Amino acid sequence: MPGGGLVLVAGAGGFIGGHLVSDLLKQGAQVRAVDIKPLDEWYQVSAGAENVVADLSSIESARAATAGVDDVYNLAADMGGMGFIENNKALCMLSVLESTHMLVAARDAGVSRFFYSSSACVYAADKQTSADVTALKESDAYPAMPEDGYGWEKLFTERMCRHFREDFGLETRVARYHNVYGPHGTWTGGREKAPAAICRKVAEAVLTGADEIEIWGDGEQTRSFMYIDDCVYGSQLIAHGDSVEPVNLGSSELVSINQLVDIVEDIAGAKLTRRYDLAAPKGVRGRNSDNTMIKEIYNWEPSVSLREGLEHTYAWIHEQVATTLARR
């Protein structure tokens, strides 16, 4: 999908960014990979990319990063799982500095395409109060009632992308990610999302001989989860596509957290007692992706089932847990 020009991936040291850089390089693209974290903290460092450590919330750094660039994938944000989002609303909203400066720098540099990774957290909370949720279509973001902090920043930046396109001619494209998971991502430390957290807890129990794991909430809250390979491919489809409106990018395979645990336990060959922490952060009661628009426009749907994706994810996290335990 990449053309002949230089491609910038902002947030390249993160989970999705690292996979995207690797995929672009395999396609023969020239890639500039930028992240605020030191290189030794990046989840993946691709030797074939121009790897840059920079704080893109600075307009000077944003201008340097976009110099000579043809396409921009802006994935940079201060974020994590629900535990992080609910307890760090101001930090999440401060990502607006990076988003704003990257749009300004891309406009001034004459960038051809600007892709922004938004989130299902932009959707109105009153449409997500039941575990038996109606899948969220793109229009359900308005009237606005997004996730406090993180969701507001994402929705605001979506509007900026729209108006930079309308007012300045910058070709912006927006994807709303729905719970991306897979290997080479955050699996511990408080920023991990549900699939990684469950894989870690089950792996720790298996490796230490424990017979119990903790579940946040009652386990009946529902979500859909998209494997990283589908996210990377779908992001490039949307980035180079014709739809100027935000598009859902996710799976419509709805499961409860308890069902997610069932699958991971089956993969691990374990059956554990579940201790439910009803006071823990748990987000909305139910959320699922309506994929009607992306099917109609791009003929896209996920190619990796939840079971298959969790098999890959659990194997990688099991290895990380085993290595960590061996060092103690």
CB of 21 within 8 A of CB of 76? no
Tokens of 19: 């996979």
User: Nearest-5° angle of CA 107, CA 156, CA 246?
Assistant: 75
- Residue 50 forms beta bridges with which residues? 32
CB of 54 within 8 A of CB of 33? no
What's the CA gap between 38 and 54, in Å, rounded?
Answer: 9
What's the CA gap between 8 and 312, in Å, rounded?
Answer: 28
Whether residue 181 lies in the annotated active site: no
CB of 152 within 8 A of CB of 93? yes
Tokens of 106: 């891309």
What's the CA gap between 51 and 59, in Å, rounded?
Answer: 19
List the end-to-end C-alpha distance of the chain, in Å, as a whole number.
45
Q: Which helix (H) or strand (E) covers residue 223, if one does?
A: strand 222-223
Which one of the listed residues 123, 150, 177, 181 is annotated catalytic?
A: 150
Among 11, 312, 45, which residue's Cα sits nearest to residue 182?
Answer: 312
Other Cβ atoms less than 10 A from the Cβ of 3: the count is 13
Return the active site residues.
Answer: 150
